[in-house]
Structure 1
């Protein structure tokens, strides 16, 4: 089709806060005439990928879809807007065939496959909508921002709360200084709502041993039944492609695919990765929660395979020109919250299951939801603020997607509130540092209770290095910073 040059007038812009120079003219021309919709590919059709692909189809022409679960993909292919889309189980084959014709790609896979798919798309000049957390590891987050800047493509992370006007207002209120000098930040979540904790991995060998021990007479029947269940599942699921860049392991029904992958170190990023990209967005943007210097955690215990059932994490941020040094505490698992006296001081007696509390010398900011869309100021009154409102397309989830399409149309990556360069990349870096501390706090208390504080991780954000690595007794901390990809996938 005739290409236009709507993406070629992207002007050079220095993103000083991120330290990147956004490339000029690297976005290739849109693959259709001005009156037609952008061409879209969707990687991941189930779970959040179901709504992401559906939202993208409202504004684009979906020409290809990809999912390692053939059943999920075939079901999506029957939906309106997807019937003409070519189907793939391997995103690399999708890009090999259609890469030159795709304008926008949605990536809604398990966390460990966000980066491989998104990097390949951006390097082809394709703008990307990638689910949160942006990446599974810290280095990947830094790299995603770097490649976004180098290629000049438009990017958006799927933390849809950034498209709520009330959340944008909250950022403006906090930035105004209404609370006075900041003192501390607390965020707590009712996640995980999936299973996490030590000793969860299952294999056929382990299952057979348990069956023979618990039910000697019926063991063989149970074993054969489980084998057939696995065979049926793998007829529709390409397990090797699902694993992707992760180390090999045996498939087991209900443990990983679908949704349960969040609780495994190799695939997900735990409750912190799942919800902090939502909940921490407002305090991150308003309070400058970037480049912490240390982090320490306590947990209910883990086995370096599955995340702990619950954790508390303390981040320390150095002083900046705009605020003093401040701590930030994270709590996960329903009922695991900051001490009540923290809230009572501000007249908050009934604390929500998830929320945010930002404390200043003059007052406090309290939100009882996951996006800071509902909030109250305690001890101070709201001030008059200005902020950019979202372009309403029906709801904040759709608005978040539409923002990317607007950015591509205008050739301006900074239209996206959660672009990889200024927001999503640095936010994800901060969040994932907390998981280094969780890794270094594997010892829990008795009977599932919270253990003592683990080893403190001291951090050089500029160079992505643990400065006290030599003194840490916990193995494998450095491996969580930068992954090694197997042959067939490109990182750097």
Structure 2
């Protein structure tokens, strides 16, 4: 049977005309080859996840018209309404797979969905040769982080994770102080947060409320285990469930662990151990809540010496309102970390102590001789997330491996190992409450120090913990 070339050409013409009428350039930048400059030097960006953080990610990438928001995809258009109203000419989708099938003129993608769908969406973008910006944490599992890092290099796309403090002047100042030897060699680090600020340590819901109008629940669940819709999952409260979120560590770890990770040049940890806050029944026996992240936890990661720091480091993470106590060198009436001590970082060296708040803001150095070094950022424009996102946009225009790409502060080459280290803490937290029944009592074999081989992504002394390295995707979903 002969192909109808006239019909095919007509369909192509209609599609081209329709997209052009929306103000979208048909030919993406990368197709035109080296040296080509798109109209007004704008990227065509697809926004996947347009509510909450997705809104600000889109606005920052758009940057007052410096880029074109060509498409918006969200499984719940109610969440993205504000963004869709702002960009009425953008093509609208519920399924990112259909977006990638239909629209070939996209240069770059922002991914601001719940944690459990970061990897599958980002990988689809990478395999479609799209540059990609992904909210923190980069992925839901350690394995996903490793795969995205390798794929970004294989497909040669420009990447950035949304831990905006990495581009701030506070972190830059901390690197400068450390490289100048102000605090000497570090062997202890404390990091903490007041998160969770959403429900954790709670029972899995069993009631079945009515589905939200316009919500594509099957697509929202994506690669995770299917459960019935419940407002305890969507919107926002998904963070407290292992099926979808990564708890307090996943929410704030990529922000708060970033300064010591970057300043000290850390790599894969070698050991991890956790202690988890309990929830008790009325008879004072502990609840078993394997699907809900705990209300509080403490985790210690051990890192080997690095090229920048000639000592192994023990990094202690605390959440749920727990925080470290004042080191003797910090005056009793000085807040540690943020102004209210709710979140922060302390790096303890043999010559002094370095501290900062969330996103590396307001860093200080307390020297052993009693001197105090402070930093007041006078270039606020380089601190907000807009700069972190805008630098990714400019790097996309510059191209993979070029100067602007190499200057990105959280491309996947860096963000991947950082995310793996953060999620290593969650592996220990989840292993802590694994239990086996022996007669009338339970045993908890995961309540020990876990030894990690970063190259092979494997716990070497407790094989059952390795189930948390890589999740099993629901049928129909692949990475």
Could you say whether these structures have the same fold, taking a TM-score greater than 0.5 normalized by the shorter chain as the test? yes
Match of 1:439 in 2: 430
Asked whether the equivalents of residues 182 and 324 of structure 1 are also in contact (C-alpha less than 8 Å), the reply is: yes
Instruction: Pick closer, same or farther for the CA change 1:144–1:7 going to 2, 3 Å.
Output: farther
Asked whether the equivalents of residues 390 and 399 of structure 1 are also in contact (C-alpha less than 8 Å), the reply is: no
Instruction: Pick closer, same or farther for the CA change 1:8–1:361 going to 2, 3 Å.
Output: farther
Q: TM-score, normalised by structure 2?
A: 0.82
Cα deviation 1:104-127 (Å, max 9, x = unaligned): 111000000000000000111111
> Deviation of residue 189 (structure 1)?
0.5
Q: TM-score, normalised by structure 1?
A: 0.80
Where 2:359 maps in the other structure, the secondary structure is: coil
2:314 paired with 1:327:
yes
Match of 1:190 among 167, 186, 194: 194
Match of 2:133 in 1: 129
2: distance between equivalents of 1:156 and 1:329?
26
Match of 2:294 in 1: 308
Instruction: Pick closer, same or farther for the CA change 1:356–1:401 going to 2, 3 Å.
Output: same
Match of 1:480 among 468, 471, 476: 468
2: distance between equivalents of 1:40 and 1:113?
19
2:410 paired with 1:418:
yes
Aligned length: 422
Match of 1:108 in 2: 112
Match of 1:347 among 322, 328, 331: 331
Matches within 5 A, 1:369-380: 369-379=357-367
2: distance between equivalents of 1:5 and 1:39?
11
Match of 2:388 among 379, 385, 400: 400
2:233 paired with 1:242:
no
Which stretch of the first structure deviates more once superposed, 481-490 or 185-194? 481-490
Instruction: Pick closer, same or farther for the CA change 1:346–1:160 going to 2, 3 Å.
Output: same
Cα deviation 1:251-293 (Å, max 9, x = unaligned): 112x011110111111111101100101111100111232111
2: distance between equivalents of 1:47 and 1:489?
25
Asked whether the equivalents of residues 298 and 453 of structure 1 are also in contact (C-alpha less than 8 Å), the reply is: no
Where 1:417 maps in the other structure, the secondary structure is: coil
Cα deviation 1:306-330 (Å, max 9, x = unaligned): 1100001011112234321110000
2:44 paired with 1:39:
yes
Which stretch of the first structure deviates more once superposed, 115-124 or 283-292? 283-292
Match of 2:124 among 120, 124, 142: 120
Match of 2:352 in 1: 363
Where 1:133 maps in the other structure, the secondary structure is: coil
Match of 1:290 among 262, 267, 277: 267
Instruction: Pick closer, same or farther for the CA change 1:394–1:375 going to 2, 3 Å.
Output: closer
2:87 paired with 1:66:
no
Match of 2:16 in 1: none
Instruction: Pick closer, same or farther for the CA change 1:394–1:283 going to 2, 3 Å.
Output: closer
Instruction: Pick closer, same or farther for the CA change 1:57–1:297 going to 2, 3 Å.
Output: same
Instruction: Pick closer, same or farther for the CA change 1:332–1:294 going to 2, 3 Å.
Output: same
Instruction: Pick closer, same or farther for the CA change 1:463–1:92 going to 2, 3 Å.
Output: same
Asked whether the equivalents of residues 173 and 382 of structure 1 are also in contact (C-alpha less than 8 Å), the reply is: no
Match of 1:23 in 2: none
Asked whether the equivalents of residues 47 and 110 of structure 2 are also in contact (C-alpha less than 8 Å), the reply is: yes
2:254 paired with 1:277:
yes
> How large is the Cα RMSD of the aligned pairs?
2.7
> Deviation of residue 440 (structure 1)?
1.9
Instruction: Pick closer, same or farther for the CA change 1:392–1:384 going to 2, 3 Å.
Output: closer
Where 2:79 maps in the other structure, the secondary structure is: helix
Where 1:289 maps in the other structure, the secondary structure is: coil
> Deviation of residue 175 (structure 1)?
3.1
Match of 2:99 among 94, 100, 106: 94
Instruction: Pick closer, same or farther for the CA change 1:374–1:395 going to 2, 3 Å.
Output: closer
Cα deviation 1:402-434 (Å, max 9, x = unaligned): 01111012113323211011x211100111101
Instruction: Pick closer, same or farther for the CA change 1:338–1:300 going to 2, 3 Å.
Output: same
> Deviation of residue 397 (structure 1)?
1.3
Instruction: Pick closer, same or farther for the CA change 1:163–1:307 going to 2, 3 Å.
Output: same
Match of 1:219 in 2: none
> Deviation of residue 479 (structure 1)?
2.0
1: distance between equivalents of 2:81 and 2:59?
15
> Deviation of residue 182 (structure 1)?
1.2
Match of 1:222 in 2: none
- Flag structure 1 segments of 5+ consecutive residues without an equivalent: 10-28, 205-226, 445-450
Instruction: Pick closer, same or farther for the CA change 1:324–1:92 going to 2, 3 Å.
Output: same
Match of 2:454 among 457, 461, 478: 461
> Deviation of residue 488 (structure 1)?
3.2
